[in-house]
Amino acid sequence: MGKVYYLRGKAGSMTTISPVRTVTTIQNVAKTFLAFEPMTHKKLQKLCYYAYSWYLTLYKEKLFDEHFEAWIHGPVSPALYSEYKQYGWKEIPKVDEVPEDILMNEDAYSLITEVYNSYGHLSGDDLEYLTHQEDPWLVARNGLPEYAPSNAKLNDQVIVNYYQKVFEEGQND
């Protein structure tokens, strides 16, 4: 399972991250993924994390204004967790429509679709495994034992540095 997944989109330049502008909400990104298929909460969390991370890396601005924390099972957005926690381990139902603000933003919709095409075939457990191998989660956990709870935030600059490196390696394949 040690495969690295690359996003083969536009090359990101090494510029500073825009701290102000965001494109949408995490809820609308989640609804976009749920328009593809029903899925577990864990899978939805990880897909939203990858969408956030790749968008931040490639466009140097936040896709949405929520953060991710280094929970036991990988990166989790507390806001998204609150939204869907009632489903527990059951699948969250598919939705009928992609939110309009996503459809109106070609970069956002294209990137979310690319994330789904790159990672969507994996289960929530597979995605958890991947995130546990990656610097943003590992750095935020800072050596905590495997099952120790944590609310440490994943750092945006660590995210950009890591995925920029992954992107560049993918371009050389």
User: Per residue of the chain (173 residues), what is the pLDDT tens digit?
Assistant: 344 455 554 444 444 544 446 799 999 999 999 999 999 999 999 999 999 999 999 999 999 999 999 999 999 999 999 999 999 999 999 999 999 999 999 999 999 999 999 999 999 999 999 999 999 999 999 999 989 999 999 999 999 999 999 999 988 87
Classify residue 93: in a domain, yes or no.
yes
pTM for this model (two decimals): 0.89
Handedness of CA 100, 32, 170, 18 (dihedral sign): positive
Nearest Cα to 43, choosing from 75, 79, 1, 2?
75
Structural domain total, the chain? 1
Classify residue 113: in a domain, yes or no.
yes
**What residue type is 18 in one-letter code?**
S
Beta bridge partners of 75: 70
Classify residue 1: in a domain, yes or no.
no
Instruction: Give the whole-angstrom CA distance, residue 8 versus residue 167.
Output: 8
Classify residue 7: in a domain, yes or no.
no
Instruction: Give the whole-angstrom CA distance, residue 111 versus residue 24.
Output: 13
